[in-house]
Every structure is written in structure tokens, then in C-alpha cells.
Structure 1
Amino acid sequence: MNTIDISQRDISKIALLTNPAAGKGRAKEKGALAARKFHDLGVDVISIAGSSPEASAQLATEALASGIDALVVCGGDGLINLALQAQAHTDVPLGIIPAGTGNDHAREYGIPLDPERAAELIVDGVAVRTDLGKMRTDDGRERLFGTCVTQGFDSIVTERANSIAWPKGSARYVTAIVLEFLHFHSIPCKIYLDGALEVDEPITLAAVGNTRSYGGGMKICPDARHNDGKLDLTVLGRMNRYSVARKFPKIYSGNIRGEDGLSQYRAEHIRIEMPDMPVYADGDRFDVLPIEYSVEKNAGLYLIPRP
């Protein structure tokens, strides 16, 4: 395991990146509450919000070069992922005001969902170095991720969950699971771990985790650690609809160790091949398989509660 790198930071000037549409519009309100709390704490706030993901990415890049003490994201895991592309490998820490649907970054690092308490944590907390994951397509497209990447039945479920407005939070994923059972089937797959072929058969899903959860707290990689220099992989093998339905409550709780049909692995490099399968990273669609995954050691820098 990597040595834990924790440092105290003086936070007096931040850029606050907001996605007003995140959390069904709640991010705008939470961002305003956080900004007021920062002002009360004597912190200068530069508010930024792009009209598109590309514009937001550019604003984040410019803010990082302007001499801020922290880049703070008010939104969901998708906006955090966008910020990571600019902030990773820098010495400017990332603060989080959770305002999304799943908030799995916040769950991993113990960040409160209340925006004012999250703002206080950013000012009074510490910065910790973490690993990040990196995805690479065969044509060279790359992207970093902080939590989990899904492919197979769970990525199809994520596509369905993103298309429905109700219910809220993690219940949307449960609803999407039920709806997708109507079309469920196992998918031919090859998985290579550190260059060696490990899986060559139809499977239900494969999840790559830098951290433990996705989908609003579903602990698909319950043993993942964000500073161990490895990526975790959970594979749900070929099984019928009834068996899959029985497994998902255990996936949600993380109680999957030794479960029939579920295999767990750990590696620095993972390659997954499934025909035309969509891939979701930090809750947002990235590309389709095949994709190679690797660890970017110590690439992340998050503001978290004091130990």
C-alpha cells in the first residue's frame, strides 16, 4: 500500500465550479449556500459555471492557473470527473460540495451532504493524495476516473437510470434494474489482468473500482482502497435473471466476498473486451469497449475531514 500523504492547507481563495443542472437543479441552491458560508469564513470565492462540459473544463483549467488555493466542485460525480481531468497531478486540492444523485466521491471520503458543513470541511480539513484510474481506448482516447467504472448489465442499467426522472437517488438504479431484466442476457467477454487472460466466457457485468461504490452507494468493489496502487475488479458471471436479482441486494451492501458466481480481482492493468458495450465512469458515459484500465498513483488530491 502507498504511504498516506496528508497535508494541512491554508484555504483563503477558491474557484467554485457549479453545474446548475446537477441534482435536478439543487446544485445552484447548494452552491449559493456554500458560497455564503465561504464568505463568512473569510474565503474569497470565484464562481465559475460553463455553458457546456467543454466550457466548464476550460474554466477549471484557467482557474487552476490563477493562483487559487483549491478548486471546489458543487455538483455530482460527473462534474467531479470533469474537474479531475484538469486538476489531477497538480498541487491544488479538490474540494467537494455534494449536489448530485449518487455522490459516491463524497461517500468515499466522508464529506457531508450539507453544503455549509462541506464548505467548513474544505476550509478546516486536510488534503490527501490518492490514486486515480485511467481509461484508454484502442484509438488512444484517455480519461481519468475517481470512483468506479461499469460495463455489462450495470452500465446498461445506468443508461436506463439516466433516462428516468423518478424515483430519486439510488432508488432510480433499483428501478432501472427491474426494467432491464426484461432484456437481460449474459455477454461474451475477455478480461486480461496485468497482461494475462483471466476471463474468456459470457458474464453479466464487470466493474473496475478505484474506490468502493457507484450508483449512490452500491458497494460493487467493497475491498477497493484509493491509495493501494491497484484497481479492484468485480465480475458477476453468467447466470439467469432470478440469480442476478438475488445478487444485487448483496452488491448494494458489499457483502459479496465468496458469493457463488462473483469473482474479485486486483491488478495494476486491466483490459476488458465486450462487443459494443457502453462504459460509464463516475456515473457518466465514456465510450464503448474494448478499454484498458491502469492506475495513476498519487494523481488525486482531495480535501477531506481531518483523521
Structure 2
Amino acid sequence: MVEPALLAVLINPGAGRGRFNDVTPAVLDRLAESGRPIRVLDPSTREDAQAACHAAVADGAAGLVAVGGDGTVHLALQAVAGTDVPFGAVPAGTGNDFAAATGVPAEPLAAAAAIADAVKAARTRPIDLARVTSPGGETHWYGSVLAAGFDAVVNERANRMRWPRGPRRYDVAIFVELVRLKARRYVLRLDGEERRLDAVLLAVGNCPSYGGGIRIVPTADPTDGLLDVVYADVDRPTLVRLKPKTYEGTHIDHPLVHTARARVVEIEAEGITTYVDGERCLPLPVRIEAVPAAIHLLA
């Protein structure tokens, strides 16, 4: 008798600062209602997690489920992108932007139950991803937003800092970069059409938000086969005033904030490392391509 294909589950116990750990056993119970054997991937490092996800996909898993925030989802997407293995997301992190944008229930147990039902019914929805490539051919996938401006610079500074610990590190990094704020010179190509511009803010979205609900690219739709771009060259006081508006996406109404849409976006600039789904990615220059139906979402 052939054993049914298993459901591989990647759990990040550190996601959301551990506040969802108490519901993890119940999440696994819900997923088991799919009728598939459950294999919990238990890596000790980020590299091990990546390898475990790829191995599960290569072994023909019935699905790969990420239990955590956008960082956990990002790891899993590297393995399932462009394959036939379905993907499920259980939002249990500080930021759950990909799950929110793709219609996943916000409550972890409800999300797990929806995944189990989808597995039983063999039901999936096609969702686009963005593929980022360096000039040397290194490739990464992302689901939500690529930051290549002020927010990327803040992340890079915060990741170099050893003090203070926790969220205050980002507050300090934001303050330092605001003091040092200056526009960068970019070359931006949208489906081959070149624009040379100065900007302090530049983001490319497959989904509308990052950072736990910051709708930096509010018009982005992960099912339209396109990428949405937002860029702006504003001074320090204007940037500070615009920041609160990003939670509603109304910053794009400002006359100095520009939007565009393209299937392929190329970005060049000096001294900037991009961040995707909140994770450190590639230094500029990069090529970003919208890949329609890159994953099959269990929903």
C-alpha cells in the first residue's frame, strides 16, 4: 500500500516574539485534519530551514506550510516557487503581510483549518511572486515588497548595530538615517523604458504592504501579473509627515510621490542593499520580474 504524501510544516518558534507558541500544537492538530501525515521540519539554523524546505519539495510533499511571519514565508517561498507543490501560510509573526494580501485568515487556527480543507479538496489559488536577479545570476523570490530606498538603508543600519536590542534598535536607526537623509541617484527601467531620477523612497511591490501593515505600494495586486513601483524625492520634514500615511496608503496622493506599473523592473544605484519580505537580499543593481501563478496557494 502506498503511503499518502506528507504535509511538511516549517515552524518558526521565534516568530512574533514567541507569542503564538502556545497554539502551535492546536495548529498541527488542525493541519492533521487534512488526512495527510504531518512532518514538522525542525531546523536549527536559517540555512538548515532552507535546505529542509527544498528537500521536502523535492521529495514530493503534498504541501509545504509555513507557520510564522513574513520571514518564515520568505524561506518557504524559495523552495515552492515555480513548482507544483502547494503552499500554505499560517500567520504567526510580527508581520504577516503576504498572508493578509492573499486572503489567508488572520487567526492561526482558522488559517490552519482552511489549509486542511484545501488539501482535502485539492483546492489551490494561483498567486504571483517576484523574482529578483543579480547581474551575476543569483536569484531570490519574494512575495510582498522589495525596498530599495530609505527603509532598506534603515534595515541595513539596524542590522549592523549591536545596541540597543529589540525594536528600539530600529528606532535609533530611523533617527540616524533621517539626520543623514539625502536623495540617491537611481536608474529605473520599467519594461525597458529608462528613467533617471533622484529619490529617498523606492519600493517595488507584488503585494501592497510590508512591516506589519505599512501599505507602501497600496495598488499592488498579487494576481495581476505586474509589479507596482512607488518612488519619491522629498525632504526630511515631508518624509516624516508621509510616514504615518503609509499605513493607509494615502501617501501616494502627495504630488512628489510617483507610481508606476511594469512586468519587469530594473534598478541601479550605488551603495544600497535591497530588502525583500523584510529580509536582506541583493545589492543594487537588480532585475525584478513578476512571475504569474508562481505558487499554488492552499486556501
Shorter-chain TM-score: what band? 0.7 to 0.9
Q: Compared with structure 1, are the counterparts of its residues 31 and 52 closer, same or farther at alpha carbon in structure 2 (3 Å cutoff)?
A: same
C-alpha distance after superposition, 1:210-238 (max 9, x if no partner): 1111111111111111111111100012x
**Corresponding residue number in structure 2 for 1:3:** none
Matches within 5 A, 1:260-279: 260-279=255-274
Q: CA deviation at 1:141?
A: 0.9
User: What is the rounded CA distance, in whole Å, between the counterparts of 2:132 and 2:182 in structure 1?
Assistant: 26
When the two chains are superposed, the root-mean-square deviation of aligned CA atoms in Å is: 2.3
Within the candidate set 138, 141, 149, 1:144 is matched to: 141
Q: CA deviation at 1:28?
A: 4.2
Which consecutive residues of structure 2, in runs of 5 or more, have no partner in the other structure?
none
Poorly superposed stretches of 4+, deviation over 6 Å: 172-175
Matches within 5 A, 1:1-307: 13-26=6-19, 28-39=21-32, 42-125=35-118, 126-159=123-156, 164-166=165-167, 177-178=174-175, 180-198=177-195, 200-237=196-233, 239-304=234-299
**Corresponding residue number in structure 2 for 1:4:** none
C-alpha distance after superposition, 1:69-109 (max 9, x if no partner): 22111122122111111111222211111122211111112
Percent identity between the two aligned chains: 35
* SS across alignment from 1:287: strand
User: What is the rounded CA distance, in whole Å, between the counterparts of 2:272 and 2:34 in structure 1?
Assistant: 47
Q: CA deviation at 1:176?
A: 5.4
Letter in 1 for 2:154: V
Q: CA deviation at 1:285?
A: 0.3
User: What is the rounded CA distance, in whole Å, between the counterparts of 1:285 and 1:263 in structure 2?
Assistant: 25
C-alpha distance after superposition, 1:41-94 (max 9, x if no partner): 654211112122221122112222334322111122122111111111222211
* SS across alignment from 1:247: helix
* SS across alignment from 2:250: coil
Q: CA deviation at 1:258?
A: 3.6
Q: Compared with structure 1, are the counterparts of its residues 256 and 157 closer, same or farther at alpha carbon in structure 2 (3 Å cutoff)?
A: same
Which segment is superposed worse, 278-287 or 44-53? 44-53
Which consecutive residues of structure 1, in runs of 5 or more, have no partner in the other structure?
1-10
In the superposition, the TM-score normalised over structure 1's length comes to: 0.86
Letter in 1 for 2:212: G
In the superposition, the TM-score normalised over structure 2's length comes to: 0.88
Letter in 2 for 1:38: L
Aligned length: 288
Q: Compared with structure 1, are the counterparts of its residues 175 and 249 closer, same or farther at alpha carbon in structure 2 (3 Å cutoff)?
A: farther
Contact 1:12/1:42 (<8 A) preserved:
no
Which segment is superposed worse, 21-30 or 286-295? 21-30
